[in-house]
Amino acid sequence: MKKIFTLLFALVIAASCAFAQSLTVAYEGASVNNGDTLEVVVPQLNTTVDYYLDLSNVTDNDVSMVVYKNDLDMAAGASASLCIGGTCFPPSTTESNPMVIAAHSTLSHATSADAFHLGYKTTTGGTSYVMFTFSNYDNSDDCTSVVFKLVYDPTSIETTPVASKLRAYPNPASDNVTIEYAYTGNSNAVNLVIKNLVGATLFTKKLDVNGNKVKVDVSEYSSGIYFYSIEADGRPLVTKKLLVK
């Protein structure tokens, strides 16, 4: 009953954020819609694992943002912490101090020491649900929420497809970039994806699982930071940063 109640409560909160105007969220370079659930694999017990979200201000004005944490349903022996930069607050902390995100900028762990992330630790395994709501401090109706579904399952970890190599050169690039990759898994739907800082997909190419490299023309890309990923069945396996100058 508790799990049903808390998940319904999460849906109510997500619905209240349906008209978010200032903030967008991305995970591993992919856009996250308000109310989405991100299912992530917890790789090991008794170790804190960090999961990063990139937060973008899409308006012409600076936005003061507050992060709210809600432990919807926690596995026995699990704890989730709200983290800003190198500081992780006690699991009992449910609200951050206001943080300013400049107009048309992204708060990302790739570019900022003050980026947001979730720190999660479990001693016994199982599945936990944790919701984060990112709210405009000056307008609480301007918000967006995301739920993490954190799963520790040794069987799924052992069989998860792996991108054992992912490298781009030259990096920074200006005209063309060659991306080397190696994939070990049984999916036939493996793609190379390039996205910008706000999570928009700029390039997608189905990869030959027996191949090892692909050349991409980035001459029309604006100078800045991008993310390239190998995805299997629509799920990012590994994401890295690409600089275009």
**What is the tens place of the pLDDT at every residue in 29-78?**
788 888 889 888 888 888 888 888 999 999 999 999 999 999 999 999 99
The pLDDT of residue 157 is above 80: no
99 and 6 together in one domain: yes
For residues 22 and 111, membership in a common domain is answered with yes
User: Which range of residues forms the domain containing residue 96?
Assistant: 2-156
86 and 103 belong to one structural domain: yes
Residues 16, 78 within the same domain: yes
Q: What is the pLDDT of residue 164?
A: 54
Asked if 48 and 141 sit in the same domain, the reply is: yes
Cα–Cα distance between 116 and 160 in angstroms, integer? 26
Q: Tell me: the pLDDT tens digits for 108-119?
A: 877 777 788 899
Identify the domain boundary among 109, 128, 156.
156
Q: What is the pLDDT of residue 188?
A: 76
Same domain, 98 and 167: no
- Judge whether residue 1 has pLDDT over 50: no
Say what the pLDDT of residue 18 is: 54
One domain, residues 59 and 149 = yes
> How much is the pLDDT for 210?
74
pTM more than 0.75:
no
Q: Domain boundary at 156, 184, 209, which?
A: 156
Q: How far apart are CA 155 and CA 187, in angstroms?
A: 17
DSSP code per residue over 163-181: EEEEEEESSSBSSEEEEEE
Task: Give the pLDDT confidence score for residue 110 in this predicted structure.
Answer: 73
User: What pLDDT does residue 127 have?
Assistant: 92
Token duo for residue 173: 């690039």
Q: Report the share of the chain in percent with pLDDT over 90.
A: 39
Same domain, 122 and 7: yes
Residues recorded for the chain = 245
Give yes or no for a cis peptide into 43 (omega within 30° of 0): no
Query: What is the per-residue pLDDT for 231?
Result: 85
**CA–CA separation, 88 vs 52, rounded Å?**
13
Same domain, 112 and 210: no
- For residues 200 and 79, membership in a common domain is answered with no
Pairing of strands 126-136, 201-206: unpaired
Q: Which CATH number do you get for residue 73?
A: 2.60.40.10
Same domain? For 100 and 186 the reply is: no
In our burial notation (b when 16+ CB lie closer than 10 A, e otherwise), range 69-101 reads bbbbbbbeebbbbbbbeeebeebeeeebeebeb
Distance CA 243, CA 245 (A): 7
Are 58 and 171 within one domain?
no
CA distance 106 to 208: 33
Residue at which a domain ends, from 156, 180, 211:
156
Q: Phi/psi of residue 117, each to 5°?
A: -155, 165
CATH number of the domain enclosing 195: 2.60.40.1930
Model confidence over 192-238: pLDDT tens digits? 999 887 778 899 999 887 778 899 999 999 998 898 888 887 777 77
Domains: count for the chain: 2
